[in-house]
Amino acid sequence: MKLKRIVTFSVTLMLTAGVARAVHVWEDPGGWWTSVTTTTPNTPLFTPNELSLDLSGSYIAGERHFSKLFETNIRHGRWGGDVGLNYFFTREIGIGGDINMSDNGGKFVDQALGDLILRWPFDPTGFAPYIFGGGGRGFDPSWEWFADAGIGVEYRFTPVVGIFGDTRYMWHLKDGSSDRIFFRAGLRLVF
């Protein structure tokens, strides 16, 4: 119950912070659509006060230990999907949260994670490598807490549409559980 309240509060806070920037979508939908499909010279691709939605495919596999990372067999993981929200206070510093749903026949949501994100945007190119770290809760196959750290890269076609890929290592915080390696790749929509 406490976790549900924390997640609800965090999502509400992120959405409220982005309302001022996103209000133009409702007032002038044609203007928003134009920014999706075209960009003008010298328009910054990455801005402060940026709210974005991640829609991605995912792959997650159990790990014995970080030192055994490259001994993983890809056939022992689970494919799935991931949905996330990010909010950047500045061009470089933001927070993000995501939930993962794997094809494992268990619970619908396997884990919920929250992270601090540091990115380095290269505006003329559209690329922005980033690092992130944080933690969260696993629900399937068992209830457990995780710490995570990862790296990724985003490419923006326009100021509101991009693609991304990232990977993270998740350390279990309970004895008897296995660590996890987690990959995502997908579409990022900025509001």
Domain CATH for 164? 2.40.160.20
141-181 residue pLDDT tens: 678 898 999 999 999 999 999 999 999 999 888 766 678 88
Q: Which domain holds residue 19?
A: 2-190
Q: Who's near 63: CB < 8 A, 6+ residues apart?
A: 69, 72, 169, 178, 179, 180, 181
* pLDDT in the model for residue 62: 76
Strand partners, 88: 50, 94
CB 185 within 8 A of CB 164: yes
101-116 residue pLDDT tens: 887 667 788 889 999 9
Q: Among 133, 101, 96, 136, which Cα is nearest to 10's?
A: 96
pLDDT tier for residue 17 given thresholds of 50, 70 and 90? very low
H/E run at residue 131: strand 127-138
The number of distinct structural domains making up the chain is: 1
Q: Among 38, 39, 81, 43, which Cα is nearest to 60's?
A: 81
Distance of CA 186 to the CA centre of its chain: 10
31-66 residue pLDDT tens: 555 555 555 667 889 999 999 999 999 998 876 655
